[in-house]
Amino acid sequence: MRVLVTGGAGFIGSHTVVALMEAGHEPVVLDNLSNSRASVIRRVGEITGSAPEFHEMDIRDQEALTELASQGFDACVHFAALKAVGESVEQPIRYYENNVAGTISLLSVLLETGIENFVFSSSATVYGIPQSLPMTEDMPIGEATNPYGQSKIMMEQVLADVQIANPTWSVSLLRYFNPVGAHHSSLIGEDPRGIPNNLMPYVAQVAEGRLPKLRVFGGDYPTPDGTGIRDFIHVVDLAAGHVAALEGLAGKPGVHIHNLGTGRGHSVLELVSAYEGASGQPIPYEIVERRAGDVAESWADVSKARSELGWATERDLIDMCRDSWGWQSRAK
């Protein structure tokens, strides 16, 4: 398939572009480089043998997007969105304008150009505070605790409504849990600008000595070691989930929802210990007050993805930490 990949120079997008190329598909990358670098495209080429076609473009530029989409595509995989929770609280208009209005702009172009297979980068944040564990796809949508999460809920609703109005469309909503790690080549990985917002890149920068210590938000949760438990998934496994969704659901009308996680949780301190082992570096930390909106535990029921997509993760926490450190310790 020829696949338009929005945000394809980003962390998850770039790994998915690699997975698509290795599976024999032809991804065409679109990215405005607001939180990524053009050098990623060259590095993807080093991994796969040839760099994908790349267009520096914003999904809100409808004229340019229409011209590109008119060249003919079988599907669109949509990653282009802002993703920092704290920043979304400070800049809600920017997040809604980029994430929601940007997606609506993209969908308008896809409708006009006849692209009917759509894979969406969603999030487990749509479940809100879990009423039970593990989380299943038939659980009700929760209340978001920040504009980033709310934008994902809003986009899922927009996509469901578009599919109802266009019943030949296939819409895949992939609800990620906690993507971490990097490609085993150490050529691509998570490269946040400024202070990292997510746990593993922060731990990685502490291990490297760029940050002095990790702040662990909450040490008094009702968990075995008192720290929060999350379902961490290797980004390469996550990328494979997108290929499985694309190949399994393209041409099958409807809205298809799948959790992408490992199906088990690890605590913050478990991750810290595993990272110390992988890097050989100490990770100093201090436990501070809980952070508003955080939940004690979160992990996925992934049986639906296994049965319907034939997909399951292959990498464990040690693999995630080892590959993250390989990327972090490589000269960028």
Q: 78-135, pLDDT tens digit by residue?
A: 999 999 887 899 999 999 999 999 999 999 999 999 999 999 999 999 998 888 999 9
The two three-digit tokens of residue 53, written as one number: 């076609």
pLDDT at 231: 98
Asked whether 124 and 73 are in contact (CB, 8 A), the reply is no
- Least confident stretch, 19-28, 45-54, 185-194: 185-194
**Which residue type sits at 229?**
I
pLDDT at 332: 52
**Which residue type sits at 29?**
V
Q: Is-above-0.85 flag for pTM?
A: yes
| Residues pairing with 178 in the sheet | 232
Catalytic residues: 148
pLDDT at 331: 59
**Which residue type sits at 102?**
G
Mean pLDDT confidence for 47-54: 98
Helix (H, G, I), strand (E, B) or coil at 70: coil
What does the DSSP 8-state code read for residue 300?
A: B
Report the CATH number of the 2-182+232-263+301-314 domain: 3.40.50.720
- Model confidence at 295, pLDDT cuts 50, 70, 90, reads confident
Rounded CA separation 247/330 (Å): 34
Mean pLDDT confidence for 250-275: 98
Asked whether 262 and 317 are in contact (CB, 8 A), the reply is no
Task: Give the residue from 278, 172, 294 showing the smallest Cα distance to 234.
Answer: 278
pLDDT at 86: 79
Rounded CA separation 65/48 (Å): 26
Rounded CA separation 114/125 (Å): 31
Q: pLDDT (tens digit, 9 = 90+) per residue, 143-202?
A: 888 899 999 999 999 999 999 999 999 999 999 999 999 999 999 999 887 888 889 999
Helix (H, G, I), strand (E, B) or coil at 115: coil
Mean pLDDT confidence for 277-282: 97
Mean pLDDT confidence for 20-31: 98
Q: What angle do CA 183, 186, 189 make, to 5 degrees?
A: 60
Name the percent of the chain lying above pLDDT 70. 99
**Cβ–Cβ contacts within 10 Å for residue 185, how many?**
15
- Model confidence at 293, pLDDT cuts 50, 70, 90, reads confident
Query: Is pLDDT above 70 for 75?
Result: yes
